[in-house]
Amino acid sequence: MTDELLARAAALDAADPLAGQREQFITPPPAELLSYLDGNSLGRPLEATARLVDEFIREQWGGRLIRGWDEGWMDWPVLLGDRLGAAALGAAAGQTVVADSTTVLIYKLARAAADARPDRRTVVLDTDNFPTDRYVLEGIAAERGLRLVWIETDPSAGIDPAQVAEVVDADTALVLFSHVAYRSGWLADIAEINRVAHAAGALTMWDLCHSAGSVPIQLDEWGVDLAVGCTYKYLNGGPGAPAFAYVRRELLGELRQPIQGWMGHRAVFEMGPGYQPAEGARALLSGTPPILAMVPLHANLDMLAAVGIEAVRAKSLLLTGFVLDLADEWLAPYGVEVTSPRDPSRRGGHVTLRRDGFKSFLTPLWDNGVIPDYRRPDGLRIGPAPLSTSFSEVYQGLRVLRELLEKDPR
């Protein structure tokens, strides 16, 4: 059976139209890295990224110096936002910026939404959302006197639109959910949940951290009001890369974010008295844009735009489907459960495996060059990034995990 699976990995690699992309990433020696399965935490760097960053430091920063701001940098937050919107978010130009961190952008957008609906006093979110989303909203609720309404999500299941329908009402200012759940990998039905929330007159905000660059997104078509996400997972922007924010065009003039800094001003270099927000998405900016940290995005968006998000998704489903097959065949006999959806239409880009004591497997896995993610209390997340991961790599990684399970005294 193992031979059949190995042959299948090889066949999937041979038939993979994205196989060539993998060679464009910086690759550590095989002795150090056998299998990288954590693309949903930190994507790998492209060779083009290293080259572009070096050129940027020497020629742009070092050569153009302060002139760089006039010669293009000032436009990067909206330019890269528009490129990201086109390549990954289904967002027409003028609604997306790259800036800050996901956390800061959640704060800015959620505050703007709450302030825009002062007659509504609740915000709906779910107990399994990513910690920073929950923590930020707790803070906003405390400062604005809002009540948080929690949907109890089973971590091994997604958000049912019916659950949302039960809790939204005329008092709901905002709902905030993740497109792909960070633990289970459940893929939410954004369009349907938006319909439910909008029927109650609430604004909708989506955290796209675990889907952007992996799962096709249609923000405009799905009626999303607000969205945020990071660029360091499937978008390979590097550790702590800037985040992005989307505000639906119709809301850009209405919503006002609370950190009103010079870069969101209508006339940045007038430096006059009194803040006046810029037209459009620029008003989402606050401080000086993190230009150096944005350089990798240029290279990554080149690749994503060339390949197409649909091709990425097609490979992603084959990769996670292969993970499920290997888990069923190799790991289930050792008590490993799959806690992610088997239905491809509800599965994001990663698969979580659960077993008591999985925490103790992390170090031996790393020591063997196999790098999944660990999520308390006993989950291993397998997140094979389609652009940089081969099927044979998935095979190798789970083979090592199986061998550790074989040796486990339990």
The annotation status of 131 as a binding-site residue, yes or no, is yes
266 binds its own copies per the rule CB under 8 A: no
- The one catalytic residue among 128, 207, 225, 373: 207
Element (H, E) at 315: helix 309-326
45 binds its own copies per the rule CB under 8 A: yes
Q: Which two tokens stand for residue 19?
A: 């196989």
Buried b (16+ CB within 10 A) or exposed e, 39-63: bbbbbbbbebbeebbeebeeebbee
Which is nearer to its own copies, 191 or 292 (by Cβ)?
A: 292
User: Which residue type sits at 294?
Assistant: M
Minimum Å gap between C-beta 82 and its own copies is 18
Q: What are φ and ψ of residue 244, in 5° steps? A: -135, 155
Which is nearer to its own copies, 161 or 349 (by Cβ)?
A: 349
Rg for the chain, CA atoms, rounded: 22
The full 3-state SS of 329-348, as one line of letters, equals HHHHHHCCEECCCCCHHHEC
Q: Active site includes 232?
A: yes
Minimum Å gap between C-beta 343 and its own copies is 26
- The one catalytic residue among 232, 244, 391, 395: 232
335 binds its own copies per the rule CB under 8 A: no
- Which among 51, 81, 87, 4 is positioned nearest to 283, based on CA atoms? 81
Which of residues 12, 18, 53, 370 is near its own copies by CB under 8 A?
Answer: 53
Q: Active site includes 128?
A: no
> How many whole angstroms separate alpha carbon 221 and alpha carbon 205?
14
Cβ atoms of residues 184 and 157 within 8 Å: yes
- The one catalytic residue among 108, 282, 381, 399: 381
Q: How far is CA 378 from CA 113, 152, 341, 374, 405, in A?
A: 36, 20, 17, 7, 14
> How many whole angstroms separate alpha carbon 266 and alpha carbon 277?
5
Which of residues 18, 36, 120, 354 is near its own copies by CB under 8 A?
Answer: 36
Q: Active site includes 233?
A: yes
Q: Which residues contact 79 (CB under 8 A, 6 or more apart)?
A: none
Cβ atoms of residues 162 and 133 within 8 Å: no
**How many residues sit close enough to its own copies to count as binding (CB under 8 A)?**
82
Minimum Å gap between C-beta 84 and its own copies is 17
72 binds its own copies per the rule CB under 8 A: no
Minimum Å gap between C-beta 60 and its own copies is 8
The residue range among 7-15, 79-87, 345-353, 373-381 that interacts with its own copies, by the rule CB under 8 A, is 373-381
Which of residues 270, 328, 403, 406 is near its own copies by CB under 8 A?
Answer: 270
Which is nearer to its own copies, 29 or 409 (by Cβ)?
A: 29
Which positions from 126 through 145 interact with its own copies, judged by CB under 8 A? 127, 130-132, 134-136, 138-139, 143
Which positions from 92 through 111 interact with its own copies, judged by CB under 8 A? 100-104, 106-107
The annotation status of 232 as a binding-site residue, yes or no, is yes
Cβ atoms of residues 228 and 105 within 8 Å: yes
Minimum Å gap between C-beta 21 and its own copies is 15
24 binds its own copies per the rule CB under 8 A: no
- Secondary structure of residue 382 in the 3-state scheme: strand
The annotation status of 102 as a binding-site residue, yes or no, is yes
Minimum Å gap between C-beta 410 and its own copies is 24
Minimum Å gap between C-beta 336 and its own copies is 21
- Which among 68, 77, 70 is positioned nearest to 269, based on CA atoms? 70
290 binds its own copies per the rule CB under 8 A: yes
Q: Which two tokens stand for residue 2?
A: 């193992």
Which of residues 126, 225, 373, 393 is near its own copies by CB under 8 A?
Answer: 373
Q: Which residues are catalytic?
A: 130, 207, 232-233, 381
Q: Which residues are annotated as a binding site for pyridoxal 5'-phosphate?
A: 102-103, 130-133, 207, 210, 232, 262, 288
